[in-house]
Amino acid sequence: MSNFLLASIGRKFLMSITGLFLSMFIGVHLAINLLLIFDDSGELFNVGAHFMASNPAIKIMEPLLGLGFLIHILWSFVLEYQNWKARPVKYNKKDRGGSSTWASRNMLILGALILVFLVIHIINFFWVIKFNPHSMQTVTIGGTVMEDAYTLVADLFKASIVYDIFYVFGGVLLGIHLTHGFWSAFQTLGLNNKNWMKRLQFLAMVYAVIVAVGFSVIPLYFLIKF
């Protein structure tokens, strides 16, 4: 197993598995976050956030999620370095553009920008909710006392146009990253025949647009309405 992971195909396999795992998380995360714009009272989002924070299965998944992010990020740098060593002379830009997308040629740059976005996102929300909940207001919904995560998120988006633009930019970057990463993960796992690849590339584009628009519409909602 160790020899497999040290080989190029092993590293690509691990990138694919962690990438698909993170893609599923992104879908769940987006579904919860969209509750922000469907109920201005904040109850729907607070119930969803409380469920994610208190559910035993989610608590077990949190360290696995963190590990998945760590492996995916580190492996991306390893693979990029590997590719750079394999072709020290850069390909002609015209030739490369004809056979690959901009996203596929710039996955490392996209990943690095998304990492910056992720760190700031964690500082703004996850770190506060997880490690400093006493700094937050509390609400009682259905007899259950919970942290007012809605106010934490809504106040940031209402108060700062800079953060609104930053989060829209982050959502778009994530969508662009997924246009290549989603289908290429399946390709690495062996689903690379002509018919399947066309379907997966289409599915990747649809999913990427949903993610980009979904995450972008949330800060825009608070910016425009409030």
What's the pLDDT at 67? 86
Q: What is the pLDDT along the chain (226 residues), one digit of tens a residue?
A: 556 555 667 667 788 888 888 888 999 999 999 999 999 999 999 999 999 988 898 888 888 888 888 888 877 777 776 766 776 555 554 445 555 677 777 777 888 888 899 999 999 998 998 888 889 999 999 999 999 999 999 999 999 999 999 999 999 999 999 988 888 887 777 766 677 778 888 999 999 999 999 999 999 999 998 8
What's the pLDDT at 89? 55
DSSP 113: H
What's the pLDDT at 92? 53
Do 189 and 16 touch, CB atoms closer than 8 A? Answer: yes
Rounded Cα distance between 220 and 208, Å, is: 18
Look up residue 1 and give its amino acid: M
Structure tokens of 37? 């714009």
Do 141 and 46 touch, CB atoms closer than 8 A? Answer: yes
The residue count of the chain comes to 226
pTM over 0.75: yes
List the one residue out of 197, 204, 17, 24 whose CA is nearest residue 9: 17
What's the pLDDT at 194? 73
What's the pLDDT at 139? 96
C-alpha gyration radius of the chain: 20
What's the pLDDT at 103? 75
What's the pLDDT at 53? 87
Question: If DSSP codes are grouped into helix, strand and coil, which group holds residue 39?
Answer: coil
